[in-house]
Amino acid sequence: MSGYKELKTFPKGGIHPEGHKISADKAIELLKMPEIVSIPVSQHLGAPAKPIVVANDIVKVGQVIAESGGYVSTNIHASVSGVVSKIDKVMDASGYKRLAITIKIDGDDWLEGIDTSLDIKKKITLSKEEIISKLQKDGIVGLGGATFPIHVKLSPPEGKVADILLINGVECEPFLTADHRLMLEKGEEVLIGTQIIMQALGVSKALIGIEANKLDAIEHLSNLAKNYSGISVVVLKVQYPQGAEKQLIEALTNRQVPIGGLPIDVGVVVQNVGTAFAVYESVQKNKPLVERVVTVTGKNLKNPSNFLVRLGIPVSNLIKAAGGLPDQTGKIVSGGPMMGKALNTPDVPVTKGTSGILLISENESMRGEVLNCIRCAKCAWHCPLGLEPYLLMNLVEKGFYDQAQQEQILNCCECGTCGFTCPADRPLLDYIRLGKSIINQKLREKS
Amino acid sequence: MSNKKLIVSLSPHTCGKDSVSRIMYDVLIALMPAFIVSMYMFGFGALRVTLIAIFSCVLFEYLIQKFMLKVKPTINDGSAMVTGLLLAFNVPSNLPWWMIIVGSFVAIAIAKMSFGGLGNNPFNPALVGRVFLFVSFPVAMTSWPVPILTRFKLVDAVTSATPLSIVKEGLKNNIATSELITKLPSYADLFFGKLGGCIGEVSVLALALGGIYLLYRKVISWHIPVAMIGGVALFSGILWGFNPEKYMDPMFQILTGGVFLGAIFMATDMVTSPMTPKGMIIFGVLIGLITVVIRVFGAYPEGVSFAILIMNAFVPLIDKFCKPRKYGFVKVKND
């Protein structure tokens, strides 16, 4: 890219899928409220939250409706005001019916004390401990996709110290633009959120990694960051999967997370830009996590858009607002094309982890015919973790799970690079996932 | 929302533009410069051999898949065409038609389909076909039509020896290399392809052009060709440095015989070569070593085919010991 010499990136493997960032210049719009929403109690990694409301209760926006179900868990808040109509199992993006709290909307009545204005509040008044407990209370989780509760990440185990915070503004998935828009429109808030996380971790340095296909966001945040000591923007070479935690850490700090370890083992904590924004809203504006930015996109969609969406609103509403479901749609994917999850119905609620909705036409939904492996080695050359996907698939297919484990199948981050590169259209990642789940089950049985 | 059924599958939901047939057609395109040179040098004979070889390879694959295996024939993937063209490139232009068909049969039926078809063959099919012909019909396989002069002859052309066989014979009779060189084509002729030899192996320039195309299309990587050609140069260079009157110089060794054809198109065959860069370099260098050993100490003047086939057998072993460097196994470092 012009103007930036020697862009940093991760050293091994990676691919360059077409960007298709067709919604990149669409400003974030507020999505119209529906009549009812269903808010799943399990929107995060870890134990589901426990409902504390019952049918016919009247709730306000921002009110806790389900309490954290353990340490690795988090509160769920009402994203709308109205009457709780039922607490029942509802199909969510996982394809399973799981517990959700359904609210019939009545007005938009926020809980007292929540600042819904757009004024930017810069001064951070809370202490380290207060910030962490505030974030825990407000249900903040990692919004990059893993939805890991933030308070766990911000409380390193005994003996582990973070020395640097990395903010993930990579958004390497094709099509998605939610983080891009957020950096452009809420840059100041993202930086204040970053400062808050730095304070909670007690680190003095933060790097915001952004790929060189988002030059406007790079310029905007770099200019703003001049007023924030310790925060700097690093331009990264466009390469998938740079937004994956391990790849981002290596691109920005040249450190490798040891096998079986966590980023904190090398003194790093990674948070997404969306999370930084949510942290700002929680700590500075007293606003729990009740909404997020979602990209709705697809080659045949009329109006690809970025919406600010209250959690629990059905995906079908988002599609309607973006111009309706095109006739030839074959797949609705929650997330991006590389790692997203295909939905079996659009009538599932948006949750904390929904970064985008991608519509794929019928033609492009079909996989190619599976041919013999021609040992071209593309999967192994491009795997960012140095695995040999063709070998792992062979081992799993033949039931050699121990050997697959020795070949570090569990280290696979499921980025999909192998399947993308395979000229024979082999279902490499499907078999790797199968192997991982069988091996994980065996490990659980053993312990 | 409509009640239309949605397609649900696991990620990734998109894939790259690569396909097996794209790779095979790229190899065919890359072989075209060498084919054009062979037409110029050997004329109708080259065309005749090439057409028979391609046609019979495709036909054998079709018949076996359709009537023996009873599966959908995959001849459109282009792999049988590549095998046919490479087999043709590895035989002289005046080979009797039925020998070409026998070679094609061995290549496709025995070396490829009996192992399970494309992707499962441990040895390069075209080379198996070639070596079968070579050991079965040594006279026909080593009578090389004189280039350019014989262009309009289909069979019974005037034949001559290849540079490598001139050297082999000469050294056997204790003639010094400095004297032998006077009987050999110039290096320029070797480079452009004006010498007797197999159809496709003569022009180093044309083969290198094809190699550049394959590198550009990322069908092959530089590791095997560079390691193999470097290996030939290295080991022949050691011998030459030791006694230049008894051993030919490394430049001669890499420009003659099938070194370039083997290095760019045969040893790089994905199915029968190692998967990691380290493995590829070991594979290439050892092919170079075996080639030199056969040429200098063996009974045959040329050793590329045997060297590649021998190393094909070691590929599983090389793959087992040359693994990609896995993420997460370095010591924790702070910059």
**In Å, how far is B219's CA from the nearest CA of chain A?**
8
pLDDT value for B3: 57
Of B16, B325, B334, the CB nearest to A386: B325
Half-sphere exposure of B102 (CA within 13 A, CB side): 15
Residue A388 to residue B323, Cβ atoms within 8 A: yes
From B331, which residue of chain A is nearest by alpha-carbon distance?
A258
H/E element holding B145? strand B144-145
Cβ-Cβ contacts under 8 Å, A388 against chain B:
275, 323-324
- Largest pairwise CA distance in chain B: 89
Please tell me what DSSP assigns to residue A149. B
Cβ-Cβ contacts under 8 Å, A344 against chain B:
6, 8
Average pLDDT over residues A292-299: 96
Of A266, A340, A374, the CB nearest to B119: A374
Of B23, B276, B327, the CB nearest to A256: B327
ipTM of the complex: 0.90
Cβ-Cβ contacts under 8 Å, A414 against chain B:
11
- Specify burial of residue A82 (Cβ count, 10 A radius: 0-12, 13-18, 19+): buried
- Cβ atoms A195, A229 nearer than 8 A: no
In a domain, B44, yes or no: yes
Cβ-Cβ contacts under 8 Å, A383 against chain B:
324
pLDDT value for B149: 67
A105-160 confidence digits (pLDDT tens): 998 999 999 999 999 999 999 999 999 999 999 999 999 878 999 999 999 998 89
- Specify burial of residue B17 (Cβ count, 10 A radius: 0-12, 13-18, 19+): exposed
B216-273 confidence digits (pLDDT tens): 999 999 999 999 999 999 999 999 999 888 899 999 999 988 999 999 999 999 999 9
pLDDT value for B184: 84
In a domain, B226, yes or no: yes
Q: Which B-chain residues 101-120 have CB contacts (< 8 A) with chain A?
A: 116-120
Please give the tally of structural domains in chain B.
2
Peptide bond into B12 cis (omega under 30): yes
Q: Does B13 touch chain A (CB under 8 A)?
A: yes
Q: Looking at the structure, tell me whether residues B106 and B64 fall in a common domain.
A: yes
Three-state DSSP class for residue A193:
helix
Q: Looking at the structure, tell me whether residues B219 and B254 fall in a common domain.
A: yes
Residue A256 to residue B328, Cβ atoms within 8 A: yes
pLDDT value for A101: 96
**Which two tokens mark A19?**
């960007």
Q: Does A55 touch chain B (CB under 8 A)?
A: no
Q: Looking at the structure, tell me whether residues B168 and B300 fall in a common domain.
A: yes
A265-288 confidence digits (pLDDT tens): 999 999 999 999 999 999 999 999
Cβ-Cβ contacts under 8 Å, B11 against chain A:
333, 335, 337-342, 414, 416, 419, 429
d(CA B123, CA A416) in angstroms, rounded, equals: 31
Cβ-Cβ contacts under 8 Å, B19 against chain A:
368, 423-425
Average pLDDT over residues A282-297: 96
In a domain, B153, yes or no: no
Q: Does B8 touch chain A (CB under 8 A)?
A: yes
pLDDT > 60? residue A18: yes
pLDDT value for B333: 47
In a domain, B171, yes or no: yes
A163-185 confidence digits (pLDDT tens): 999 999 999 999 999 999 999 99
- At residue A2 the predicted structure's pLDDT band, cuts being 50, 70 and 90, is very low
Q: Looking at the structure, tell me whether residues B99 and B243 fall in a common domain.
A: no
When the pLDDT of each residue in chain A is averaged and rounded to a whole number, the result is 93
| B195 Cβ contact list (under 8 Å, min separation 6) | B147, B162, B163, B185, B189, B202, B256
Q: Which A-chain residues 168-207 have CB contacts (< 8 A) with chain B?
A: 174
From B21, which residue of chain A is nearest by alpha-carbon distance?
A423
Residue A255 to residue B335, Cβ atoms within 8 A: yes
Residue B11 to residue A423, Cβ atoms within 8 A: no
**Which two tokens mark A50?**
């426990």
| B40 Cβ contact list (under 8 Å, min separation 6) | B148, B151
In a domain, B158, yes or no: no
In a domain, B151, yes or no: no
Q: Does A370 touch chain B (CB under 8 A)?
A: no
pLDDT value for B150: 63
Nearest Cα residue to A251 out of A321, A168, A360, A174: A168
Structural domain ending residue among the three candidates B89, B106, B140: B140
A200-226 confidence digits (pLDDT tens): 999 999 999 999 999 999 999 999 999
Cβ-Cβ contacts under 8 Å, B116 against chain A:
372
Q: Looking at the structure, tell me whether residues B232 and B181 fall in a common domain.
A: yes
Cβ-Cβ contacts under 8 Å, B6 against chain A:
329-332, 342-346
Q: What global pTM score does this model have?
A: 0.91
pLDDT value for A1: 43
Q: Looking at the structure, tell me whether residues B167 and B136 fall in a common domain.
A: no
Cβ-Cβ contacts under 8 Å, A385 against chain B:
326-328
Average pLDDT over residues A190-205: 96
Q: Looking at the structure, tell me whether residues B52 and B131 fall in a common domain.
A: yes
Q: Looking at the structure, tell me whether residues B169 and B310 fall in a common domain.
A: yes
From B20, which residue of chain A is nearest by alpha-carbon distance?
A423
Pairing of β A28-30 and β A305-310:
parallel
- pLDDT > 90 fraction of chain A, expressed in percent and rounded: 90
Average pLDDT over residues A253-260: 91
Of B1, B4, B77, the CB nearest to A316: B1
Cβ-Cβ contacts under 8 Å, B276 against chain A:
377, 380
Q: Looking at the structure, tell me whether residues B311 and B167 fall in a common domain.
A: yes
pLDDT > 60? residue B185: yes
Structural domain ending residue among the three candidates B140, B172, B205: B140
Peptide bond into A389 cis (omega under 30): no
d(CA B196, CA B185) in angstroms, rounded, equals: 10
pLDDT value for A20: 94
In a domain, B148, yes or no: no
Residue B328 to residue A257, Cβ atoms within 8 A: yes
Residue B7 to residue A366, Cβ atoms within 8 A: yes
Cβ-Cβ contacts under 8 Å, A358 against chain B:
13
Query: Could you list the residue range(s) of the whole structural domain that residue B105 is in?
Result: 21-140
State how far the alpha carbon of A264 is from the alpha carbons of A146, A248, A260, in Å.
16, 14, 12
Q: Does A53 touch chain B (CB under 8 A)?
A: no
**Which two tokens mark B313?**
């057998």
Of A329, A375, A380, the CB nearest to B271: A375
In a domain, B39, yes or no: yes
Give the E-state strand segments of A61-214 in sequence order: 64-67, 76-77, 82-91, 97-105, 164-168, 206-211
**In Å, how far is B277's CA from the nearest CA of chain A?**
9
pLDDT value for A443: 94
Half-sphere exposure of B206 (CA within 13 A, CB side): 25
Of B9, B12, B119, the CB nearest to A372: B119
**What single string gives the DSSP state of each residue in B173-223?**
TT--HHHHGGGSPPHHHHHHT-SSS-TTTS-HHHHHHHHHHHHHTTSS-SH
- At residue A333 the predicted structure's pLDDT band, cuts being 50, 70 and 90, is very high
Of B6, B117, B332, the CB nearest to A331: B6
pLDDT value for A346: 93
Three-state DSSP class for residue A81:
coil
Q: Looking at the structure, tell me whether residues B175 and B310 fall in a common domain.
A: yes
Cβ-Cβ contacts under 8 Å, A256 against chain B:
327-328, 330, 332-333
From first CA to last CA, the distance across chain A in angstroms is 51
- Cβ atoms A426, A391 nearer than 8 A: no
d(CA A168, CA A208) in angstroms, rounded, equals: 6
Task: For an interface test with B, give the residue of A205, A250, A376 to mutate (most B CBs within 10 A).
Answer: A376
B86-95 confidence digits (pLDDT tens): 999 999 988 9
- Specify burial of residue A67 (Cβ count, 10 A radius: 0-12, 13-18, 19+): middle
pLDDT value for A61: 95
Q: Which A-chain residues 231-250 have CB contacts (< 8 A) with chain B?
A: 246
Q: Looking at the structure, tell me whether residues B179 and B304 fall in a common domain.
A: yes
Q: Does A127 touch chain B (CB under 8 A)?
A: no
Structural domain ending residue among the three candidates B140, B173, B192: B140
Chains A, B: CB contacts within 8 A come to 180
Q: Does B327 touch chain A (CB under 8 A)?
A: yes
Q: Looking at the structure, tell me whether residues B66 and B209 fall in a common domain.
A: no
Three-state DSSP class for residue A314:
strand
Residue A340 to residue B11, Cβ atoms within 8 A: yes
Residue B11 to residue A372, Cβ atoms within 8 A: no
pLDDT > 90? residue A381: yes
A241-251 confidence digits (pLDDT tens): 999 999 999 99
- Cβ atoms A344, A365 nearer than 8 A: no
**In Å, how far is A110's CA from the nearest CA of chain B?**
31
Sheet with A36-40, side-by-side order of all strands = A36-40, A97-105, A82-91, A58-59
User: Could you give the domains of chain A?
Assistant: 1-31+116-366 (3.40.50.11540), 378-446 (no CATH)
Cβ-Cβ contacts under 8 Å, A373 against chain B:
119
pLDDT value for B147: 79
**In Å, how far is B294's CA from the nearest CA of chain A?**
29
- At residue B335 the predicted structure's pLDDT band, cuts being 50, 70 and 90, is very low
pLDDT value for B159: 74
